[in-house]
């Protein structure tokens, strides 16, 4: 295993993390997954992974002793940080875990890498996965946020991600810290916890539950397939410029209601679901709900020749197929415990 590139992925049992684990294993990396296995992690996401180049540590990224031990043991060349609390509605009800993981956890990773680098002189870089939500609400403008757009987070989730980005940027400037930040738009694809919009719509349709849509369903998001995101992350790790941040997006915005109708259409095209009755209900909006996110991702497109390769139509079809063919995935999640609406009481 001497010449194999070793990488740490934190949060590798979650949605994007598990897709990245598989993506990198296919490309012959040795993957060390550090995940505390919170509610949104699912071992189903990595089932059948019988690979000598993969190891899982059930651990909190705030555990500095363990994180340092893992760095020293494996000498990875890259740390992809995807461990996070990620659901905006949860951040409205209880922001504390968002501070713990998304800010303190990132601080701990920064300090661990700084200490490790100082003591070993080894080459290592941090690819930190942030979000387009740091730029805040672009509202009804036609604008797309570039990398230098001012940060204006609206929810405790977005603010915790913005804080971490600022902290990393300060480490880059002060310590010459080897980090790259990615700010990606909304992802979709296999393995996503069904509190998020797309798997929730699919879950509700398959289980004969009405589909709740916030307000009038006109909020707009830029959707990208998770595999396009994973490909961009590997590209950033191999050819991205240290110290920079890169937007990753598809340029493809859709309102929630249009997206919902597209998914309903895709499911109804399946023989077994033809003629199925589906009900959409409009529910009270989430407090502070951003109307529109949209990013300009020309920087990664021009500098690294990255492009999204999976169009929305095909991507949504395949995603619907994945959830239908992996109905066991939904069965592993308790509806009462995890899927009731949150973020309404303020």
Q: Where on the chain is the footprint of ligand NAD (CB under 6 A)?
A: 10-11, 13-17, 35-38, 40-41, 60-62, 82-86, 101, 105, 129, 131, 161, 184, 186-187, 193
Q: Which is nearer to ligand NAD, 137 or 278 (CB)?
A: 137
Distance separating alpha carbons of residues 78 and 31, to the nearest angstrom: 10
Q: Which is nearer to ligand NAD, 153 or 178 (CB)?
A: 153
Distance separating alpha carbons of residues 203 and 211, to the nearest angstrom: 9
11: Cα separation from own chain's centroid: 9
Q: Which is nearer to ligand NAD, 254 or 278 (CB)?
A: 254
Catalytic residues: 132-133, 157
* Minimum distance from residue 19 beta carbon to ligand NAD (Å): 8
Distance separating alpha carbons of residues 157 and 160, to the nearest angstrom: 5
Distance separating alpha carbons of residues 278 and 211, to the nearest angstrom: 8
Q: Which is nearer to ligand NAD, 84 or 316 (CB)?
A: 84
* Minimum distance from residue 185 beta carbon to ligand NAD (Å): 6
Helices (H), the chain: 15-26, 64-74, 88-93, 96-98, 106-120, 156-175, 197-206, 226-239, 256-268, 298-304, 312-325, 327-331, 335-338
The total of other beta-carbon atoms located within 10 Å of residue 218's CB is: 14
Q: Which is nearer to ligand NAD, 164 or 213 (CB)?
A: 164
* Minimum distance from residue 102 beta carbon to ligand NAD (Å): 7
* Minimum distance from residue 273 beta carbon to ligand NAD (Å): 26
Question: Considering only CA atoms, which of 15, 179, 147 is closest in space to residue 83?
Answer: 15
When CB distances to ligand NAD are compared, the closest residue is 14
* Minimum distance from residue 246 beta carbon to ligand NAD (Å): 12
CA atoms within 13 A of residue 296's CA, in its CB half-sphere: 12
């Amino acid at each position: 295993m001497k010449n194999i590139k070793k990488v740490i992925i934190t949060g590798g049992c979650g949605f994007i993390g598990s897709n990245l684990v598989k993506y990198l294993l296919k490309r012959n990396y040795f993957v060390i997954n550090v995940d505390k296995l919170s509610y949104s992690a699912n071992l189903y996401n990595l089932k059948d992974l019988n690979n000598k180049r993969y190891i899982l540590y059930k651990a909190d990224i705030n555990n500095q002793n363990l994180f340092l031990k893992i760095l020293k043991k494996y000498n990875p060349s890259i740390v992809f940080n995807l461990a996070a609390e990620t659901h905006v509605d949860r951040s409205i009800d209880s922001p504390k875990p968002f501070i713990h993981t998304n800010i303190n956890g990132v601080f701990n990773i920064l300090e661990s890498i700084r200490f490790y680098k100082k003591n070993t002189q080894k080459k290592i870089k941090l690819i930190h996965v942030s979000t387009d939500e740091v730029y805040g609400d672009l509202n009804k403008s036609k604008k797309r946020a570039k990398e230098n757009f001012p940060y204006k987070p609206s929810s405790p989730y977005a603010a915790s991600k913005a804080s971490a980005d600022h902290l990393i940027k300060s480490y880059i400037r002060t310590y010459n810290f080897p980090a790259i930040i990615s700010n990606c738009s909304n992802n979709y694809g296999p393995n996503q916890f069904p509190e998020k919009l797309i798997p929730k719509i699919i879950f509700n349709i398959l289980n004969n539950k009405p589909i709740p849509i916030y307000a009038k369903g006109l909020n707009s998001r830029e959707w990208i397939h998770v595999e396009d995101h994973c490909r961009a992350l590997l590209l950033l790790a191999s050819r991205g410029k240290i110290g920079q941040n890169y937007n990753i997006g598809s340029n493809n915005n859709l309102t929630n209601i249009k997206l919902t109708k597209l998914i309903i259409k895709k499911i109804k095209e399946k023989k077994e679901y033809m003629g199925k009755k589906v009900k959409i209900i409009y529910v009270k909006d989430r407090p502070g709900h951003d109307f529109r996110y949209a990013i300009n991702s020309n920087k990664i497109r021009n500098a690294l020749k990255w492009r999204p390769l999976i169009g929305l139509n095909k991507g949504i079809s395949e995603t619907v197929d994945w959830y239908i063919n992996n109905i066991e995935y939904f069965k592993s999640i308790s509806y009462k415990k995890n899927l009731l609406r949150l973020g309404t009481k303020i």
